[in-house]
Amino acid sequence: MTDQNLFTPYTLGNLTLSNRVVLAPLTRNRAGQGFVPSEFAATYYSQRASAGLLISEASQISQQGQGYQDTPGIYTPAQIDGWRKVTDAVHAKGGRIFLQLWHVGRVSHVDLQANGAAPVAPSALRPATKVFVNNRFEDVSEPRALDIDELPGIVNDFRLAAANAIAAGFDGVEIHGANGYLLDQFLKDGANVRTDAYGSSIENRARLLLEVTAAVVEEVGAERTGLRISPVSPANGVSSSAPQAQFDYLVDQLNALDIVYLHVVEGATGGPRDVAPFDFGSLRQRFKNTYIANNGYDLNLATSRLAEDQADLIAFGRPFIGNPDLVERLKTGSPLSAFNPATLYGGGAAGYIDYPTLAESSAR
Give the burial string for 264-288 (b: 16+ CB within 10 Å, else e).
bbbbbbeeeeeeeebebeebbebbe
CA distances for 64 relative to 61, 118, 180, 183, 353, angstroms: 8, 9, 16, 14, 30
**Pairing mode, strands 130-133 and 136-139:** antiparallel
Q: How far apart are CA 43 and CA 224, in angstroms?
A: 24
What is the C-alpha to C-alpha distance for residues 70 and 54, in angstroms, rounded to an integer? 21
Question: What angle do the packed helices 243-257 and 207-220 form, to 10 degrees?
Answer: 20
H or E stretch at 21:
strand 21-23
Phi, psi of 232, deg, nearest 5: -120, 5
d(CA 66, CA 153): 16
Beta-strand (E) ranges in 200-271? Answer: 225-229, 261-265
Q: Which DSSP category does 228 fall into?
A: E
- Whole-number Å distance between alpha carbons of 124 and 147: 11
The yes-or-no answer on residue 261 being catalytic is no
Out of 181, 291, 297, 345, pick the active-site residue: 181
> Residue 351 and residue 241: Cα distance in Å, rounded?
40
Q: Are strands 261-265 and 130-133 parallel, antiparallel or unpaired?
A: unpaired
Residues marked active site are found at 181
